Structure 1
Amino acid sequence: MNTEATEPYDPETRGLRLVAVLLVLTVVSGLIDAVSYLGLGHVFTANMTGNVVVLGFAAAGAPGFSVPHTLVSLSSFVVGAMAGGRVARRLGDGSRRRWARVTLAAEAVFLGASSAVAFAAPDATATVYTLIAVTAFAMGLRNATVRRLGVPDLTTTVLTMTLTGLAADSRAAGGTGGRSPRRSASVAAMALGALLGAWLVVRHGLGIPLLVAAVVVAVLALSTSGRE
């Protein structure tokens, strides 16, 4: 008779680890910012640090930048983050797996809706504002969730502190370099997403890259776990 103790079954461990999920979401962020910056009038909908700078450019009258576009993106992102905060307060104390999956499913729906709008009316002025608003809302929702999940060095949209940590904690700077692989992977993921997004926008317009983003996030929504 086997008397060895076995670990109790934990449904939270089923699926992809959050580290892998957040790295893939970082790729999606690069893709979304490629769509917004290249296809929606030089505005970011995932990277709000860049967006604040772009707002300054637009306010100064620099050609190619729009104050209305940037304000729509910033305000939609903030509203999305508020929604994400409410979801976190409702679900964050329970199953991390369920919470992450619900939020990612919502993001996939918003990105899918953006793709449908881009296919249906690619040249309409209203389409530009709709895509900015919906994708920025989705990114705000996700960022509020990622912030509360608190996985170190994986914010999915901002790399300034990641690059700072990579350099400041490196062996060359006298540190241990302990989290260098994760930080390096995050930088590479963002670059990969931007490359893929730019290639798709230039060759296929806005609908295809948004659809790709929606499908990827939907797969993550079905497969993520609650473990780091």
Structure 2
Amino acid sequence: MPAEPPPDPPPDPQPDPRPDAQADARPTDPETRGLRLVAVLLGLTVVSGLIDAVSYLGLGHVFTANMTGNVVVLGFAAAGAPGFSVPHTATSLASFLAGAATGGRVAVRFGTGSRRRWARVTLAAEAALVGASAAVALAVPDARGTTYALIALTAFAMGLRNATVRRLGVPDLTTTVLTMTLTGLASDSRAGGGTGHRSPRRTAAVAAMAAGALLGAWLVLHRDLATPLLIAATAAAVLAVATSGRE
């Protein structure tokens, strides 16, 4: 008897035509998990407003997030203007620079790998430093060295964050200064002859800083220094957990 022909091979499985099924089949990039960096940096801009409200209103007219203002304040203090202190301002500048140098080292360590991990490490460190400042303000509000401790801790945290934000390179979101943001908002607007395509982001950054400063000032004036610092630390911790590596 002639041999039976081999059975036909089974047909190739057809891909599921549903877009959602195809998306589920693809591996998820860990870098895309969490909040976009734009949202995270806007949140950090609110935190900067809180911290500068604490430092300027509660620590003797010194900035610990906005170093542009701090250099000007140092000039005021050196000229003998009342209400300003050279030692306080110098402490803030030195601590900020130390934090920025540390941020540069962190960038060398993490900058060529996962942006998500890099951002999370930096924000976790910021949360810890600001949380420590809140603990100091709560535990020993009237101690002799409390002012210097709060200046040093918050300025170091802001230097660390600024170095990271600079290396991340998300346009128009420096999180601590708004001069170039406002310049871009006006010069690139339709009134300035531009397209205004980044106006929403820039406007959001200005609003975020103002909101943080408003909340921080109200808390300093009506409660204490520890409360806005605790809110700032909590916000940084939440953003550290939630951030992704995508812009």
The AA in structure 2 aligned to 1:211 is L
Equivalent residue, structure 2, for 1:109: 128
**Which aligned pairs between 1:154-169 and structure 2 lie closer than 5 A?**
154-169=173-188
Specify which of 176, 179, 186 is matched with residue 198 of structure 2: 179
TM-score, length of structure 2 as denominator length: 0.91
TM-score, length of structure 1 as denominator length: 0.98
Inter-partner Cα distance in structure 2 for 1:32 and 1:48? 12
Specify which structure has the higher proportion of helix: 1
Q: How many residues align?
A: 228
Equivalent residue, structure 2, for 1:195: 214
Give 5+ residue unaligned stretches, structure 1. Answer: none
Equivalent residue, structure 2, for 1:126: 145
Inter-partner Cα distance in structure 2 for 1:195 and 1:9? 40
Question: Is 2:92 the partner of 1:73?
Answer: yes
Inter-partner Cα distance in structure 2 for 1:71 and 1:32? 17
The percentage of counterpart residues that share the same residue type is 79
Equivalent residue, structure 1, for 2:3: none
Larger radius of gyration: 2
Equivalent residue, structure 1, for 2:52: 33
Question: Is 2:82 the partner of 1:63?
Answer: yes
Equivalent residue, structure 2, for 1:21: 40
Aligned to 2:145, the other structure's residue is in SS state helix
The AA in structure 1 aligned to 2:58 is G
Question: Is 2:241 the partner of 1:222?
Answer: yes
Inter-partner Cα distance in structure 2 for 1:124 and 1:55? 24
Inter-partner Cα distance in structure 2 for 1:87 and 1:44? 24
Inter-partner Cα distance in structure 2 for 1:38 and 1:131? 13
Inter-partner Cα distance in structure 1 for 2:178 and 2:27? 38
Once the two structures are superposed, what CA deviation does each residue of 1:149-189 show, in whole Å capped at 9, x if it has no partner?
A: 00000000010000000000000011000100000000000
Once the two structures are superposed, what CA deviation does each residue of 1:50-96 show, in whole Å capped at 9, x if it has no partner?
A: 00000000000000000000000000000000000000010011000
Inter-partner Cα distance in structure 2 for 1:95 and 1:143? 18
Question: Is 2:163 the partner of 1:150?
Answer: no
Aligned to 1:122, the other structure's residue is in SS state coil
Aligned to 1:173, the other structure's residue is in SS state coil
Question: Is 2:15 the partner of 1:2?
Answer: yes
- The CA deviation at 1:124 is 1.6
Aligned to 2:98, the other structure's residue is in SS state helix
CA-based RMSD = 0.9
Inter-partner Cα distance in structure 2 for 1:119 and 1:129? 15
Inter-partner Cα distance in structure 2 for 1:210 and 1:132? 12
Inter-partner Cα distance in structure 2 for 1:104 and 1:85? 14
- The CA deviation at 1:3 is 4.8
Inter-partner Cα distance in structure 2 for 1:224 and 1:8? 19
Aligned to 2:174, the other structure's residue is in SS state coil
Inter-partner Cα distance in structure 1 for 2:182 and 2:72? 19
Aligned to 1:170, the other structure's residue is in SS state coil
Equivalent residue, structure 1, for 2:5: none
Inter-partner Cα distance in structure 1 for 2:72 and 2:39? 30
